[in-house]
Structure 1
Amino acid sequence: MRLVFAGTPEVAVPSLSAIADSRHELVGVVTRPDARAGRGRRVLRSPAASWADEHGIEVRTPRRPSDEEFLGWLRDTAPDCVPVVAYGALVPQSALEIPAHGWVNLHFSLLPAWRGAAPVQHAVLHGDEVTGASVFELEKGMDTGPVYGSLTEPVRPTDTSGDLLGRLAIAGADLLVAVLDAIEDGTARAVPQPADGVSLAPKVTVEDARVRWDDPAFAVDRRVRACTPAPGAWTTFRDERIKVLPVALGDSDAALAPGELAVHRTEVLVGTASAAVRLDQVQPAGKKPMAATDWARGARVSPGDRFA
């Protein structure tokens, strides 16, 4: 089949590469426009656009996929199907109707669970033991289309969202290509999603990523891992923001109030609503990640000091 790929972040690149290596013809890539990023606020190409540039594939970056210029290009390009991975914009019906086999989306959850922008983060945040990926037919609703196929993936006790998403991106790329093969062969069957089991996964905001030390230890651990690497779990110390990297759940019997710090020679403990957790690394504003013990010595943490 002739394919136009739609995707933007790094997590889309494994699928893009797998499609390029498949029996199908990759004739274009649609991605979000170049954007400013990083400390220097430089204008950067998306990872999908950068991959396409390196491989000589035409790139389109419409501000909105409803733009008439883009729709005209898509009609002229005449793809049989548009595979999608984390494109980042709502696709209008006028664009969905152009390919003969529609737009086929790889989503990182077992639909209908965790429909929305942040399925992996919510799976970690809510303590799911198993998640997965689904390939479904894109339609106007939010991740509501019929499903062509899925796979499962265990959520490991120490997984961050980044860890889990990395594994799902690789496994999901193979699933996406298998579905595209089946569509071309005429053997693909899309099954409507069940009405039960629907859950929503909206974007995780910076405020969502603030650590609640008055939560129990297991919830603190989940929140930090869910927000790593993005948007980054954080707290404040002496009115300054500090990023918290994954903590360790231990068997400490230290009697610490929520957020209270206890500094020892080889570890830094923080109180929660249940047991204390051990800090591994933290990242003060404007600095690189560092061992929590080094930070505590430099900050001159005193008995009774606490995170807000």
Structure 2
Amino acid sequence: MRVLFAGTPAVAVPSLDALVEAGFDVVAVLTRPDAPLGRKRVLTPSPVAARAVELGIDVIRAARVDAETTAKISAVRPDVAAIVAYGGLVPPAALAIPRHGWVNLHFSLLPAWRGAAPVQRSVMAGDDVTGAVTFRLEEGLDTGPVYGILTEAVGPYDTAGELLERLSRSGSVLLAQTLSAIAAGKAAPVPQAGEVSLAPKLTLDDGKITWGHPALAIGRQARGVTPEPGAWTVLDGQRVKLEPVRLRPDVEGLEPGALSVQGKSVLVGTGSHAVELTRVQPAGKKMMPAADWARGLASPESVVFE
């Protein structure tokens, strides 16, 4: 089959590689335009675009699938389109081009966590199990019938980034298997069933820690927003970034947001028991071990995060 691959971030690259390794004729890649990165704001290709160039595959760069982009897709005559975190909606005119439609690899157990941030929202909600599915893309938000499914346990210390990395690799195998089944005429997608939940894109505010919340919820939140947009709090009016915290049920009695240095442990009070900071990035500085940061404070025991 002639395959159009649509994807943008690094987590989509394993799927592109898997389709090429499986012998599919990937005729073009659709990805978001080059974006400015770093302090110097250098225009940089998306990870998928960079990999496609390495593989010698033509690249269609588009911020959205408009009439011009739809015409470019039609010109490469795909039999099927595979999409993994492209970052834009596919309108009906483009959906209708491949005779086998568009197959989306989505990192959740649909209909749970429909939307842009399924893994992050799953971790923040405290799910024990997540996974990935391949489904036929349609106009609704992640509503199409499902071809295949895999599950993945969520470890107690998994960050969203770590979990997404694992799912990107296992999911790439599932995507290749799904396209092989479609090519063989053996694919039979089934309608989604179960409770629907939504996973909107994360914003900076999703990383703001509210210290009056229970420690367990704070721990889940910090893991869910790592690496992006990252957990953070406020001290003396400035934003302080935090890496995921450790739960310390053995330490109680600290007021929410209050700091306590006990040996090499830097503890913060919550609405339940304390949490232990791991790494801290003060405004204008690099990320550092929490103990090193605390040693630089004039009076650690008087610190209260906002």
| TM-score exceeds 0.5 | yes
- Match of 1:140, SS state, is coil
User: Match of 2:79, SS?
Assistant: coil
Cα deviations by residue, 1:17-73 (Å, 9 ceiling, x for unpaired): 11111121111100011111222222111000010111211000123212x322222
3-state SS, counterpart of residue 208 of structure 1: helix
Q: Which residue of 2 aligns with 1:268?
A: 266
Q: Pick one of 275, 291, 294 that aligns with 1:293.
A: 291
How far apart are residue 291 of structure 1 and its match? 0.5
Q: Which blocks of at least 5 consecutive residues in structure 2 are unaligned?
A: none
Q: Tell me which residue corresponds to 1:252.
A: 250
Tell me the SS of whatever aligns to 2:300. coil
Check whether the contact 1:5–1:83 (CA below 8 A) recurs between aligned residues.
yes
**Is the 1:258–1:273 Cα contact (8 Å) retained in structure 2?**
yes
Aligned counterpart, 1:187: 186
Q: How far is 1:211 from its partner?
A: 0.6
How far apart, CA to CA, are the structure 1 residues paired with 2:203 and 2:249?
A: 31
CA distance in 2, matches of 1:152, 1:106: 13
Instruction: Note if contact 1:29-1:58 (Cα within 8 Å) is conserved in structure 2.
Output: yes
- Report the Cα distance in structure 2 between the residues aligned to 1:129 and 1:77, rounded to whole angstroms: 42
Equivalent residue for 2:45? 45
Q: CA–CA distance in 2 between the matches of 1:163 and 1:26?
A: 28
Find runs of 4+ consecutive structure 1 residues off by over 4 angstroms: none
Q: Which residue of 2 aligns with 1:166?
A: 165
Q: Does 1:103 align with 2:99?
A: no
Determine the structure 2 residue equivalent to 1:21: 21
- Stretches of structure 1 that go unaligned for 5 or more consecutive residues are none
Question: What is the percentage of aligned positions where both structures have the same residue?
Answer: 54
Supply the distance in 2 between the matched residues of 1:218 and 1:143 (Cα, whole angstroms).
Answer: 30
Aligned to 2:92: 93
For the aligned residues, what is the CA RMSD? 1.0
**Residue 127 of structure 2: aligned partner:** 128
TM-score, normalised via structure 2 length: 0.98
Alpha-carbon displacement from aligned partner over 1:217-252 (angstroms, at most 9, x marks no partner): 000100000000000010011111111101111233
SS in 1 for 2:112: coil
Q: Secondary structure at the match of 1:199?
A: coil
User: Using the alignment, how far apart are the partners of 2:142 and 2:287 within structure 1?
Assistant: 36
Q: How many residues are matched?
A: 306
The match for 2:196 is: 198
1:61-86 C-alpha deviation (Å, 9 max, x unpaired): 123212x3222222221011010000
> More displaced, 271-280 or 248-257?
248-257
| Partner AA of 2:64 in structure 1 | R
Contact in 2 for aligned 1:130/1:154 (Cα 8 Å): yes
Give per-residue Cα distances to partners, 1:89-111, cap 9 Å, x unaligned: 00000000000101100000000
Give the aligned partner of residue 146 of structure 2: 147
8 Å CA contact 2:63–2:88 kept in 1: the answer is no
Distance 1:76 1:271, change over 3 A: same
Q: What's the CA shift for 1:264?
A: 2.6
Counterpart code for 2:204: V
Using the alignment, how far apart are the partners of 2:3 and 2:266 within structure 1? 52
8 Å contact 1:116–1:200 — kept in the other structure?
Answer: yes
Q: Distance in 2 between matches of 1:192 and 1:130?
A: 21
Map of 2:237 onto structure 1? 239
2:11: which partner in 1?
11
Structure 1 position 82 matched with structure 2 position 81:
yes
Amino acid in structure 1 at the alignment position of 2:3:
L
Partner Cα separation in structure 2 for residue 207 and residue 300 of structure 1: 29
Determine whether 1:112 maps to 2:106: no
The equivalent residue for 1:208 is: 206
What SS does the aligned partner of 2:206 have? coil
After alignment, is 30-39 or 226-235 more displaced?
30-39
Per the alignment, in what secondary structure is the counterpart of residue 26 of structure 1?
Answer: strand
- Kept after mapping to 2: 8 A contact 1:263/1:301: no
CA distance in 1, matches of 2:288, 2:115: 34
Does the 8 Å contact 2:215/2:274 carry over to 1? yes
